[in-house]
Amino acid sequence: MSDKENENIMNKENENIMNKENENIMNKENENIMNKENENIMNKENENIINKENDIVVIGLGYVGLTLSVALAESGFKVLGLEKRKDVVDLTNTGKAHFDENGLDLALNKVVKNKFFTATNEINDIKCSVYIITVGTPIDQKGNIRLDYIENATKEVAKSMKDDSLVILRSTVKIGTSANIVTKILKDTGKVFHLAMCPERTLEGKALQELTSLPQIIGSNSEQGFLRAENIFGRLTKTIVKVSSLESAEIVKLIDNTYRDVQFAFANEVARICEPFNVSALEVISSGKLGYERTNVALPGLVGGPCLEKDPHILSQSLAEKGVEIEITRACRVVNERQPYETVSNIKAESIKRGFGEKIKITVMGLAFKGVPSTDDLRGSMVFKIFDALNKDFKNSEIFIYDPIVSIESMKESFPEYIISKNMNNAIKNAHIVILANNHPNLTPSNIEKYYNNMNECGFIYDYWNRYTRLSKQQLNGNYFSVGYKGEL
């Protein structure tokens, strides 16, 4: 073969290679262009869906639902609140909240007047693409969560929602509720939907502030569901935390509150350690963590409320169904639930020591589950267990009650058998025993003598919050006791 022929063959081969390479490059470029176009189309579709979501239905106007509704309305959404209680609906539509929450009445009145928020009993014929479920999940007498509210709310959504709706679950639930209950009910409609779990984690008394400052956890069954939920909560807070599944988001809320319950249980255990040795738990805890970063024990006291009183039970139940026993969680709840009975037993012993008769005046002040930040919420308050113990140990005594925030109507409804005092002076006048059950500032005069001067001359104070423990023993005069402090001279 001649050199010329070899040259022609080589040129031909090179040409084929180059053509093939060019073809591959062009195909790759076309593929990239198509992928980019498809991505742009998908992003545009998601953007269009998101931009249209200015109407939101919130199911349940309790503490979680009403505060969220107001925050969303303030951020520019048109919000419709669905609530079964007609009195709550009527009151809400006047711009007045049915519970006490810092700043809520002012904000609610504004969004109602501006027609960005309306409450209703009916969900029929609502054209909306976003539903947020915020109904309660109470526990029964055995500590098992009731999910009937979740089921009923989801059924309401299922009847109303259209294809491609976004359903957000915000209630605290047993692990797997989103996937096993909510998803099943929505699937039975045959409609296309997206589900996101976005747990509520605000502090009562600071809800409106924390809705715009706390990170929002979001778990979803689809990427579009996440993006749409992110857009909604992104109007409230700068920080969105994406988790990999609905279950992860459910667990986050339960772990948050159970961790706090465990912390407080250990503090109450410290109190039980100190009392037999007549040592102040407040002194031990405060001294131990002063300048020592590795120890940060909480102070002892009553542990309850609508979250801490039930969430550890919900977590335990979730794991029990998987054959897992979480011993620390259960043990800590036992410590915290037993405390009212142990402390009332100590109160009884001191009353016997002082020679009190069968019929004495006992005053319990601070009925809401906490005093700071202030709230009128009685859900999960440990005073119910205190009253149960008092009724057993002081059967013939008169029990007076007072709270600076809880309304007279609420006290009559929740505690019909007790005598309601309209002010603190009347509550403590001639009382043999004064029990301070929460830490509201109005229950803590700067001078403890205000109590002593109005009480029975042989009376004493039992304080669950250690507000006067730092005073000298001479000032306390043997008439003051608290969790982890026996008060002996």
- pLDDT confidence tier of residue 208, bands split at 50, 70 and 90: very high
Residues 240-255: tens digit of each pLDDT: 999 999 999 999 999 9
CA-to-CA distance for 54 and 169, rounded, in angstroms?
18
- 366 close to 443: Cβ distance less than 8 angstroms: yes
Question: Residue 346 CB: number of other CB atoms within 10 A?
Answer: 14
Whether the per-residue pLDDT at 421 is higher than 80: the answer is yes
Map 59-93 to HEC letters.
Answer: ECCCHHHHHHHHHHHHCCCEEEEECCCHHHHHHHC
What's the pLDDT at 143?
81
Residues 21-79: tens digit of each pLDDT: 555 545 555 554 444 444 443 444 444 444 445 699 999 999 999 999 999 999 999 99
For 145, which DSSP code?
B
Whether the per-residue pLDDT at 289 is higher than 90: the answer is yes
CATH topology of domain 51-244: Rossmann fold (3.40.50)
What's the pLDDT at 142?
83
CA-to-CA distance for 274 and 268, rounded, in angstroms?
10
Strands 193-197 and 361-365: unpaired
What percent of the chain lies above the pLDDT cut of 90? 84
**CA-CA-CA-CA torsion sign (272, 277, 282, 288):** negative
Closest CA to 65 of 149, 133, 112, 126: 133
What's the pLDDT at 11?
53
Helix axes 3-52, 223-233, angle to 10 degrees: 50
Whether the per-residue pLDDT at 280 is higher than 70: the answer is yes
- Please give the average per-residue pLDDT across 270-283, as a whole number: 96
- Mean pLDDT across the chain, nearest whole number? 91
CATH topology of domain 265-482: Rossmann fold (3.40.50)
What's the pLDDT at 431?
98
- pLDDT confidence tier of residue 20, bands split at 50, 70 and 90: low
Helix axes 311-320, 246-274, angle to 10 degrees: 120
Residue ranges of the chain assigned to CATH 3.40.50.720: 51-244, 265-482
What's the pLDDT at 19?
53
What's the pLDDT at 254?
98
What separation in angstroms does the CA of 261 have from each of 274, 303, 305, 330? 20, 7, 11, 10
